[in-house]
Amino acid sequence: MSSHDHRLIHRPDADEQGLGDLAVDRIVTLPNIITTVRLACVPLFLWLLFGRDAPGWAGFLLGTLGATDWVDGYVARRFDQTSNFGKMYDPTVDRFMMVVGIVAIIVDGAAPWWFAWLILVREVLVSLWVVAITAMGAKRMDVTWWGKCGTFANMGAFPAFLIASQPGMSDWWTTTWKVVAYVCLVPGVIFSLLAAGQYVVKGREALAEGRAEREAAA
C-alpha cells in the first residue's frame, strides 16, 4: 500500500473519539427537553385534581402524558440524539409520573382501590429491584415489550377513571369512560404482572453479565 493510500484511510484520533463519547453522554438534547416538559406537567396535574377539583381535566392531562411517552424516544432515534443520560432519564421520569399519578388517584378515590394499590406496589417493587441489582453491578436493563404494553394500558385506565368521576356530567359520560377504564384495566394488570416476572429473570441475567464482564476485565 502506498503512502497516498495510507492518507485515504481515516483513523479517528483521540479528539474525535472524545467527541463521539461526548455525543453519547449529552444531557441537553431535544428528547431530554421533551421529557423535562412532561415532568413539569406533574404539578399542573396535581393542581387540577386537588386545587381545582377537576378530575376530568386532570385525567385528560394524565392521558396525554401517557400517550406521548413514545415521543421523546422517537425523536432521539429519528434525529440521532440518543444519549446515555436519556436512556436513564426517560424511564425514571415515566416511573415517577406513574407513581405520583397513582398515589394522587388513591387519595382522590377515583379508581378501584385494589387496582391502584396493585399497580403501585408493582411499580415500587420493580423500581427497588432495579436499584438493588444496579448497585450490585448489573448491566443496564431495557424496558420490556410487556412492560411497555402494561404501562400504556394502565395510562389509559387511570385517566379514564378520573374523567368518569368529573362532577356534573351525564350518566352516559360516566358510564362510557368507566367502560373505557375497565377495558384498559384488564390487559394493564395482566401485562404489568407478566413484565414484573420478566424483570426478575432479566435482572438476574444482567447481574450475571455484569459480574462476568468485571471478572474478565480484572
Q: Provide the residue ranges of all domains of the chain, joining segments of one domain with +.
A: 3-217
- Which pLDDT tens digit goes with each residue over 97-130? 999 999 999 999 999 999 999 999 999 999 999 9
Query: How confident is residue 204, by pLDDT bands cut at 50, 70 and 90?
Result: very high
State yes or no: pLDDT of 81 exceeds 80.
Answer: yes
pLDDT at 39: 93
- Which pLDDT tens digit goes with each residue over 2-60? 444 444 444 444 444 443 444 456 788 888 888 999 999 999 999 999 999 999 999 99
- Mean of pLDDT over the chain: 86
Alpha carbon distance 76, 98 (integer Å) = 22
Looking at per-residue pLDDT, the higher value among 103 and 77 belongs to 103
CA nearest neighbour of 98 among 158, 184, 44, 50 = 158
Query: How confident is residue 211, by pLDDT bands cut at 50, 70 and 90?
Result: confident
pLDDT at 111: 96
Find out if CATH 3.30.70.2740 is the number for domain 3-217: no
Contact 205, 135 (CB under 8 A): no
Query: How confident is residue 144, by pLDDT bands cut at 50, 70 and 90?
Result: confident
pLDDT at 23: 47
pTM for the full predicted model: 0.81
Kindly provide the b/e burial profile for residues 157-194, where b requires at least 16 CB atoms within 10 angstroms of the residue's own CB: bbbbbbbbbbeeeeeeeeeebeebbeebbebbbebbeb
